[in-house]
């Protein structure tokens, strides 16, 4: 177990002391009680949590391509995740985030997001808000259509005495009302699907 200072570690790796301080604030250094660096454990931790390809420019360009290809399809109200700084990850139970697992999870989530955007573009997915609004409007329309003819229907039924004629009149009125509600609901659905 080799113990060295942060300044010695920075000189050994060819880094600025401020970068070593940044690594310490990100919990990517193994420090002793007096603030010195355990060299072997720190190098193992850095190897585990760093980009193995060491090609930061290629990674940045790949990130830009992903942002351009996926997030350009999002609505203008949705902010790209590349605009915000990533949250500082605190180690849980002494375990540090693994670069490969984090990258695989990120790629998996980006693929799912791209699949959702493809579904929206193809029309197989719609927004939850449009569905909820459509369901509410359809229910309100059906209620209004059923209760609308009641005043006229009550006058018509009051004059009838034959049960068969009453049933026939009620059936015809309900059928006409429900068919009209269906036509209006279909038109509202088409309108909701084309406006989003």
- The pLDDT assigned to 90 comes to 56
Query: For the chain, what are the domain ranges?
Result: 1-50, 52-125, 128-195
In b/e form, how buried is each residue of 5-18, taking b as 16+ CB within 10 angstroms? Answer: ebeebbeeeeeeee
Pairwise pLDDT comparison (184 vs 17), residue with the higher score: 17
The segment with the largest mean pLDDT, out of 50-64, 128-142, 158-172, is 158-172
- The pLDDT assigned to 85 comes to 47
- The pLDDT assigned to 91 comes to 57
Pairwise pLDDT comparison (66 vs 171), residue with the higher score: 171
Would you say residue 196 has pLDDT above 60? no
Mean pLDDT of the chain: 79
Question: CA-to-CA distance for 130 and 193, rounded, in angstroms?
Answer: 8
The answer to whether 156 and 105 have CB atoms below 8 angstroms apart is: no
The answer to whether 17 and 6 have CB atoms below 8 angstroms apart is: yes
Phi, psi of 95 (to 5 degrees): -95, 130
pLDDT tens figures, 30-88: 998 888 999 898 888 887 877 665 556 656 666 776 677 666 655 555 545 444 445 55
Pairwise pLDDT comparison (93 vs 173), residue with the higher score: 173
């Amino acid at each position: 177990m080799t113990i060295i200072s942060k300044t010695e570690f920075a000189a050994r790796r060819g880094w600025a002391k401020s970068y070593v301080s940044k690594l310490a604030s990100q919990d990517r250094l193994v420090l002793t009680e007096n603030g010195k660096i355990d060299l072997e454990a720190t190098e193992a931790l850095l190897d585990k949590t760093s980009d193995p390809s060491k090609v930061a420019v290629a990674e940045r360009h790949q990130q830009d391509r992903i942002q351009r290809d996926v997030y350009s399809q999002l609505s203008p109200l949705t902010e790209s995740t590349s605009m915000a700084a990533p949250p500082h990850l605190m180690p849980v139970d002494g375990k540090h985030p693994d670069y490969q697992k984090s990258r695989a999870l990120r790629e998996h989530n980006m693929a799912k997001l791209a699949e959702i955007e493809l579904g929206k573009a193809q029309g197989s997915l719609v927004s939850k808000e449009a569905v909820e609004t459509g369901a509410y409007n359809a229910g309100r329309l059906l209620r209004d259509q059923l209760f609308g003819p009641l005043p006229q229907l009550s006058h018509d039924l009051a004059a009838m005495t034959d049960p068969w004629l009453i049933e026939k009149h009620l059936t015809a009125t309900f059928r006409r009302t429900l068919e009209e509600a269906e036509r209006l609901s279909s038109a509202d659905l088409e309108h909701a699907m084309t406006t989003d």
